Structure 1
Amino acid sequence: MGGDAHGHGPALSKEADGRYLTGALILIVAFMVGEVVAGLIAHSLALISDAGHMLTDAAAIVVALIAMRIAARPPQGGFTYGLRRAEIISAQLNGITLLLLTAYFTYEGIRRLVVPAEVQGGLVLVVGVAGIVVNLVATWLISRANRTSLNVEGAFQHVLNDLYAFVATTIAGLVILFTGWTRADALAALVVAALMLKAGWQLVRDSGRVFMEAAPAGMNPSEIGGRMAGLGSVVEVHDLHVWEVTSGYAALSAHVLVDPAADCHAVRLATERLLRDTYGVEHTTLQVDHATPELLDIGYSAGHCHAPQGPAPKPDP
């Protein structure tokens, strides 16, 4: 994953991200209050579902802002990485919220398909168009923040899905206004639920990979180990681990065995350069040792490292 999308320092980036998110939050809360009132007057499930989604949008942005502040705290005590993973917790909560809303609006949408309610199509149409405008502005604001952060991406997905939802609501309002077919309102709510399901699952999946300390998306540990093993004087690479502390912050550790005549320091520097320039991994912990005859005779598979894990690449013969 890339770094700061705006090309300035992390502190300035976080400050700008906070301003964009705050601007979107003010817009969303102001419009949400009006939409709840309009939804109750129009008896529209689509508007109520949109308002419910906007409530989660607001909550997602608030959680994102809090997580950004927590994650910015320096490492201390037992938290040697600081609280950077607070942003991943925020992304996970956003995803779970979307999935729960999916279940609720799917149930309500199906119920209203079976027993349709009277819906004021004109009011639904007006509020839907206004919602599109508000969400376009809010989406634009959040898109200017650094979306390589899963925390920011979670808030963005909430608002983007709300934009799609208002498009569906507007179409439903047109159908009801000109045909009187009120089930269009329930269908719009089901479209919203489907969009929530997609976005929610992606957020839960991506944040789950970070919690499970999987390699960052797009990084293949076996390929990385092979490139490391291909460097001059390297005999073997093992106990290779690649993981994400938080979105955009990859870390790697490995045990590297080199030729007995090689300069361990030079090999370590060359390996760090390879990982930084090719894969963007700047946080590395490398143990570089000479491959003594004793170690080579014992062999990695026989267990000269305690509880070895991960791939064990060797140079191509």
Structure 2
Amino acid sequence: MSAHHHHHPHDHGHAHGPHADGLGNEKRVMFAMWLTGGFMVIEAVGGVISGSLALIADAGHMLTDTGALFLAFIATRLAKRPADGARSYGYARAEILAAFTNGLVMIGVVAWILFEAASRILSPSPVMGLPMLAIAITGLLVNIMAFKLLHGGEQTLNMRGAMVHVLGDMLGSVAAIAAALIIMGTGYTIADPLLSVLVALLILRSAAGIVRESAHVLMEGTPEGAEGERIAGDLMANVEGLADVHHVHAWSLGSNRAVATLHARLAPGIDPGMALAAIKARLAAEFGIGHATVQIEEESCPDHAAGHAH
């Protein structure tokens, strides 16, 4: 079995070859994370000083992003480890658990923003338009930089997820810019809480998505496109010598890490080793299932039973 020949060079004194573009996914995600995380603090403080709820809401949105980028960062780190089922179970799940918690916290933030917005709509409070505008514009630039960083990397599921966040964040900054312009132009400070509601809904959308997906993983839900019947049908159609495939379970450990268990009954005279290798290869290629536990059942005739010393 060539299971141990993982295609990764054994550490040559940690000398990594230079990337074509000089920046790997991991570094890109890390820079983007520090950018949004750092600016988030400035924006929150600016929101409090200028009295703008839209800025505080946008900072809240940046908090979800920084969280998402952090998870993407952990995931890119973990993806580098040699694939070995038992060891990485724990880490992959920690990432999902963090995402779940992050999502719940953000839903709490949304509730607070909506509550605060309602009270400000009822009794408008003064907002300084100019500092608000300056901070919101800087926020937009920070997001554009983060987006460019992420866009240049390889497109994995995590990178795409992080990009979607940063894009949503741009909308948040645009809303804050719009509110600042309306306030400076017309003096209607109510624009600030109104647009903060819009940003809160943006946060709610991404937070609800995160909670739903991570809860699905935590509940051992089936990865998208890897439903049991579908896997069974696909194996029956594409792997020779299978008489029946049943008890198929697929679930994910974390982002991009699907696992499966199944029973396969072989047609008479089929070599179990070959069948096993073929099943595993098909699961990896078609469903991205990197770790499968397959129980082989042979159509055993009585005279076969003696020759079971493989």
TM norm structure 2: 0.77
Cα distance change on mapping 1:90 and 1:73 into 2, 3 Å? farther
Contact kept in structure 2, 1:241 and 1:252, CA below 8 Å: yes
**Residues of 2 paired with 1:281 and 1:70: CA distance?**
16
1:179 aligns with 2:186: yes
Q: Which residue of 1 aligns with 2:206?
A: 199
**Structure 1 position 279, deviation (Å):** 2.5
Contact kept in structure 2, 1:28 and 1:57, CA below 8 Å: yes
Percent identity, aligned pairs only, is: 35
Task: Map residues 149-298 of structure 1 onto 2, 5 A cutoff.
Answer: 149-150=157-158, 156-230=163-237, 231-292=239-300
Contact kept in structure 2, 1:46 and 1:188, CA below 8 Å: yes
**Residues of 2 paired with 1:140 and 1:115: CA distance?**
40
Q: Which residue of 2 aligns with 1:114?
A: 122
**Residues of 1 paired with 2:81 and 2:285: CA distance?**
28
Counterpart AA for 2:214: S
Indicate the larger mover: 49-58 or 239-248: 49-58
**Residues of 1 paired with 2:212 and 2:72: CA distance?**
18
Q: Which residue of 1 aligns with 2:145?
A: 137
CA deviation map 1:265-297 (0-9, x unaligned): 332233233323332333222121212479xxx
**Structure 1 position 144, deviation (Å):** 4.3
Gaps in structure 1 of 5+ consecutive residues: 1-7, 295-317
Cα distance change on mapping 1:87 and 1:96 into 2, 3 Å? same
**Residues of 1 paired with 2:227 and 2:206: CA distance?**
25
**Structure 1 position 109, deviation (Å):** 1.4
Cα RMSD (Å): 3.3
**Structure 1 position 257, deviation (Å):** 0.9
Counterpart AA for 2:198: V
Cα distance change on mapping 1:108 and 1:266 into 2, 3 Å? same
SS of residue matched to 1:213: coil
Find 1:39's aligned residue among 38, 41, 47. Answer: 47
Cα distance change on mapping 1:52 and 1:205 into 2, 3 Å? closer
Q: Which residue of 1 aligns with 2:136?
A: 128
Contact kept in structure 2, 1:161 and 1:192, CA below 8 Å: no
Counterpart AA for 1:26: W
Cα distance change on mapping 1:169 and 1:254 into 2, 3 Å? same
**Structure 1 position 71, deviation (Å):** 7.7
TM norm structure 1: 0.76
CA deviation map 1:97-124 (0-9, x unaligned): 3212111111111221111111222332
Find 2:24's aligned residue among 9, 16, 40. Answer: 16
**Residues of 2 paired with 1:26 and 1:227: CA distance?**
44
Q: Which residue of 1 aligns with 2:307?
A: none
Task: Map residues 78-117 of structure 1 onto 2, 5 A cutoff.
Answer: 79=87, 81-117=89-125
Gaps in structure 2 of 5+ consecutive residues: 1-7, 303-310
Counterpart AA for 1:81: Y
CA deviation map 1:189-232 (0-9, x unaligned): 10111001110111111122221222211223211101223444
CA deviation map 1:145-192 (0-9, x unaligned): 566455x66655554333211100111111111121111101111011
